[in-house]
Structure formats: structure tokens, C-alpha cells
Chain A
């Protein structure tokens, strides 16, 4: 004798468990997205604060304005967003957060560049353009090289941009530096555009040079530029 009722009850319980698991997953997923949002808000405030401080810079000395005030959490946010994309599914909310993150990166970059020029601080910037599509086999290696460099040189600021992101600001940067998807990965160091894979040693040499350049740049010499 087959107890069909039991088969149905078990089906209902299993379906219930499935939906409970989906609910739990969404609950924790939303918590994570909230966490990302709060980090982004903090970064946005940091940048706004830095910009405001920068506007006041003419009245302050560079002593009060150091690298430390630049947002230190961009890197953490980048990692979490990347992980979120792989594990939380590509929801619209995450796409929006990634766009916002790219925008914050650009703002941070511009601000850091201004401060660096104005105060001659020892910061080196790398703009990194990549794509997650399989066509860019070298992007994986380049990402690892840049992460290693960033750990080795805490003063180094790497801004990564997903080539395929639908954001006009990123598209403008791609236009400025004339970067095409066939030439990925692409790096911009000191306004030089480097395409294809670049080894750790190669980039390290460039960064060291860049450090030296900045060290030798007279602080006063740039004051006029920054205020112009």
C-alpha cells in the first residue's frame, strides 16, 4: 500500500525547507548588502570630508593634510564587492553598488592626485582596467600582481575598473586613456598607458621610480598648480 498522503506531506515539508533556506539566504545577503552600503557611505563621507578639507587647504598647511585621511576602506570594499558578485548573485543592487564604488574610486583618485600634487605626498596611483570575461586570461595574473604590490607598498593606491561596467565616468576614463577591450589588462601609471600583462618586477621598478620622482618634487613648486 502506498501512502500518497505521506509523499505529499514530505513534498510540502521539503518545499517549506527550501523556501526557509531561500529566506535565510536573502536575509543574510541583504545584511551583507547593507554592510556594503554602510562602508560606501563611510567612504563617501570620508571623500567629501577630504574634499572639504582640500578646499580649505589654502588656509592650512600640508602638515595637517596627510595620506591617512584618504579613505582606507576602498580596498576592503572592493574585495567584498568582488566576492559578493561571485556569491550573492548579480542582483541589480550589487550592480548599482559596483557603479557607486567605481565612482568613489574615481573621486578618491582625483582627490588623492590633487593632494599628492599639492603637498608632494608619497603616493603612487595605478589605474587598472580589467574584465571578468574569459577573453582576458591575463587579467587574473595581473590582479594577483597588483594585490601583492598593494600589500608590499601600503602607500600605493590601485583603482580597479571593470571594463564592462555601464558608467559614463568610467567610459570617459576609457576614452581619455584610449583603452580598448582587446588590450586588457591595461594599467595607467603616471599617465603612461601600459597594455597587456606586466610582471611584478616590472611594476615594482616603475613604482620605485615614481616614489623617487615624488620625493624629489619640490612641494612649493606645485602649490601654484594646485591652487590654479
Chain B
């Protein structure tokens, strides 16, 4: 008889396989719709767009961010750039002041109130029909905006378009691991876009119709994940969100484990708490795949990783217990045994095959995401970093986010 722990494991594995197969089937259905454009994109009509750059202590990156906006392949008189210093304690304000001379740039300075307050100040000063933000640690590719705007031109029902966010910054093991993860994110986001089930409109250059904010209200704190909360609100009101896979925005990702941990803790905490706030949406068919697939998928992921991690810890403790007993009863009297590989001892329990299957589909997602961002089909070394880095650290931020939610402790921004 399987124990209750085994049954929980099998159920979680079943659901995890379901999620991966769902993505794969969505890919097979829509693969011909994934278009990666080369060269300059042209629109019939170029609507005016306001892009806000909220900054908080971003003196090192904000200049490059603004320059990337000035270099966009989009008529200059159609882009309004709002630079908002959210009470920085470094030289950010001095740096952005240098852009005062540009006629399409406006500078704002306010007391620190959080990113969403800076975005709301920008919204108050927006007169265009389209609005977007660009985080001050991100850099837009020159073709990104025009490609995003082509989605609005094609479909008047589209209310927001998210870009493909890819990793920038000096190379390190942590960044390379994130590179593979972000590539996978591009693929998954595209699939969620096909399903009409995107749950985050990322800070780096998601463009909205201003109508969204006029209808649904401005940004909210959203547990420091305002870009997630607004997406939830849009989904709740059946506002269509698309993903423009060939609009690339490079973002400066955390370069150390500590910074990565804090960022992900904020994201997962945001996911858990926004999902709790929007719990009435869950499994309600009128909210579409967002309610039936995206949100349950997130919950399944957190539950599966936490549970598997718990089992691994249990097995590790058991292993250590045996080693301690061994040390206690025979000391360092270990005999050197010759290692003979015997296939008999290879674990062939059925869930092992399913875990291998899940891993294969994850690898497939990363490869496809890489094809969509870098145009290359081959395997990259980043994957070698992805599995150990995220496998080892992710459970900790997941569990910490659950713990913080239970104790109502809010994580800091960085």
C-alpha cells in the first residue's frame, strides 16, 4: 500500500506532467503563428506613446535606459518619455536632469513612495492613448516598441502587449542560469499569450492602452509586484493581454545569490498574495484559461517544488543519520570498495520516468525560448547552470514566501 506521502507525490507529479503537456500541445497548435521578424518593422499609423521610467537609486543604469528609448525605431514626436525619480538617495536625479534638454522628455522628482506611486504620477501626466513603463535597469531594443505597437494595430481588442525580457549584464554563473530561465520564460509567456492567460505585464516595456487605467484604475501596491496585480485586474475584467515575442528588452538581472533570492522572494510573495486577493477568480470559467490554467499552474508549481524539496530534505536527513550511525559504530574504518555499476540498483519506480519526462519538456522549453530570442537551436551551456542553481535555491525562496505569507511579513524590494 502506498503511503499518503506517496499519493501526494503522485498527484503532484500528475498535475506537473499535465501542465507541461498543456504547454506542449499549445505550442503544437500555434507553432506557425510564432513569427520572428528581422529588419525594420513599419506601421500604417504610429500612435503616440508615453513611456515612464521610474527610478530609485539607479544612477548606474538609468542613462543607458533613457538612451535606449531615444534610439527606438519610432517617430520621435510620437514618444513622450517621463523620467521619475522616486526619492533616490544617490545621484539618479542628477543623471536624469541631463536629459532635460530633450523636448519629448519630462523630469519628475518626488518623495519615495514605491514604484507604483511613480508610475501613477506618470499616468496622471499622460495624454497619449498608449502608456508603458521601462524599469531603469532595462534597455529596450530599437525595434521593440514598433513591434509591440504592431499588435495593437492588428487587433483593436488587445489592451496590453508584453515584450520578451532577456538577460543583460556581465556574465556570471547566476546570470547564465537566469539566461536559460528567461529564455524559457519567453516561450512560456508566448504560450500563455496564445491561451489569453498572461499573469504578469512586466515592468520592462509592457505597453497598455491608456483606457485600461481609465477603466480599471491606476497601479496598486500589489505586494511590490504592481505589474502582476494590474495583469490580474485586467484578466478579471477580460482585457486581452498579448505577448510580442520578437520585441526584446534587456534587463539587468541580479548577479549574486543574495540579490536573486530577494528578487524571487518578492515575486513569489507577490504571486501568492495577489492570487489570494483574486481567489474568487480561481476555477471560474468566465475568466478563461487564466483562472483554469495559469493560476492553478502557479499553485501546483509552488506545491510541487516545496513538497519535492521536503522529500529531498527528509531523504538527506535519513542519509546523514545513516552516515552518523556508520561513523559512530565503525568510526573512520571505511573499507575502500571497488565500484561496480549494477543496473539492478537503477531506480525504475514509475514516477522517475515521469520526472525525466518533465525535465525533457523543460529542456525543450529552454531550447525553444533560445530559438525565439537568439535564433539558435542548439543546446547552451546556460542550461548546465540553470538546473543546479534553480534546483538548489528556488525551494528556499518558495518556502520563505509561503512562510512570510503565513506570518504576514512583507519582503523588501531589494
Q: Assuming the A-B contacts A7-B292, A21-B353, A200-B329, are A80 and B344 also in contact, with contact meaning beta carbons closer than 8 angstroms in the complex? A: yes
Q: Is A9 an interface residue (CB 8 A)?
A: yes
Enumerate chain A residues within 8 angstroms of B289, measured Cβ to Cβ: 2
Query: In the complex the two chains form, what is the Cα distance from A22 to B357 in whole Å?
Result: 13
Contact among B18, B326, B351 for A14, CB-based, below 8 A: B18
CA distance A148 to B332 in the complex (A): 11
> What residues of chain A lie closer than 8 Å to B17, measured between beta carbons?
14, 17-18
Once the chains bind, are B344 and A25 in contact (CB under 8 Å)?
Answer: no
Could you say which of A83, A87, A144 contacts B330, with CB atoms under 8 Å apart?
A144
Contact, CB under 8 Å: B354 / A18:
yes
Provided the pairs A28-B348, A141-B328 are in contact, do residues A10 and B333 lie with their beta carbons within 8 angstroms?
Answer: no
Output the nearest chain B residue to A11 by Cβ-Cβ distance: B18
Residues of B within 8 A of A2 (CB): 285, 288-289, 292
User: Do B344 and A32 touch across chains, with their CB atoms under 8 A apart?
Assistant: yes
Instruction: Tell me whether A68 is interfacial, beta carbon within 8 Å.
Output: no
Query: What DSSP secondary structure best describes chain B's contact surface?
Result: helix
Q: Is B14 located at the chain interface by the 8 A CB criterion?
A: yes
Contact of B21 with A by CB under 8 A: yes
B276 lies within 8 A of chain A by Cβ = no
- CB-defined contacts of B330 to chain A, threshold 8 Å: 144-145, 148, 200
The reply on A193 being an interface residue by CB < 8 A is: no
A10→B285 CA distance, assembly (Å): 18
Whole-angstrom distance from the CB of A217 to the nearest CB of chain B?
Answer: 29
CB distance from B67 to the nearest CB of A (A): 42
- A10, A25, A144: which contacts B349 (Cβ < 8 A)? A25
**Contact B25 A13, beta carbon cutoff 8 Å:** yes
**A35 CB within 8 Å of chain B:** yes
Task: Report if A87-B347 is in contact (Cβ < 8 Å); known contacts: A144-B325, A151-B337.
Answer: yes
**Alpha-carbon distance between A29 and B352 when the two chains are bound, in angstroms:** 13
Query: What DSSP secondary structure best describes chain A's contact surface?
Result: helix
B350 interfacial by beta-carbon distance below 8 Å: yes
A 1-45 binary contact with B (CB < 8 Å = 1; else 0): 110001101110110011011101110110010010000000000
Q: How far is A200 from B329 in the complex, measured between Cα atoms in Å?
A: 7
Given contacts A21-B353, A29-B348, A140-B322, contact A14 B335 (CB under 8 A): no
Give the complex CA separation of A29 and B353 in angstroms. 13
- Which chain B residues numbered 311 to 336 have a C-beta less than 8 Å away from chain A? 322, 325-326, 328-331, 333, 335
- A21 x B329 contact (CB < 8 A): no
Contact across chains for A10 and B25 when beta carbons are under 8 A apart: yes
CB-contacts of B355-370 with A (<8 A): 357
Measured between beta carbons, the chain A residues less than 8 angstroms from B333 are 148, 200
Q: Which residue of A lies closest to B348 (CB)?
A: A28
**Bound complex: CA A117 to CA B252 (Å):** 79
Cα(A18)–Cα(B20), bound, Å: 13
Determine whether A72 belongs to the interface, using a CB cutoff of 8 Å to chain B: no
Knowing A141-B329, A152-B335, A200-B330 are in contact, say whether A21-B14 is a contact too (CB < 8 A): no
Residue of B nearest to A16 (CB): B21
CA distance A186 to B291 in the complex (A): 60
Q: B354 → chain A, closest Cβ, in Å?
A: 5
Instruction: Give bound CA distance, A14 to B25, whole Å.
Output: 11
B322 partner residues in chain A, CB cutoff 8 A: 140, 144
Query: Contacting A35 at CB < 8 Å: which of B288, B329, B344?
Result: B344
**B13-41, CB under 8 A of A: which get 1 and which 0?**
01001100110011001000000000000
Please give the residue numbers on chain B whose beta carbons come within 8 Å of chain A beta carbons, in ascending order: 14, 17-18, 21-22, 25-26, 29, 285, 288-289, 292, 322, 325-326, 328-331, 333, 335, 337, 344-345, 347-354, 357
Q: Could you list 17 examples of A-B contacts with CB < 8 Å?
A: A1-B288, A6-B25, A7-B292, A10-B18, A10-B21, A14-B14, A17-B21, A18-B350, A18-B354, A21-B353, A32-B344, A80-B345, A87-B347, A141-B329, A142-B329, A144-B326, A151-B337
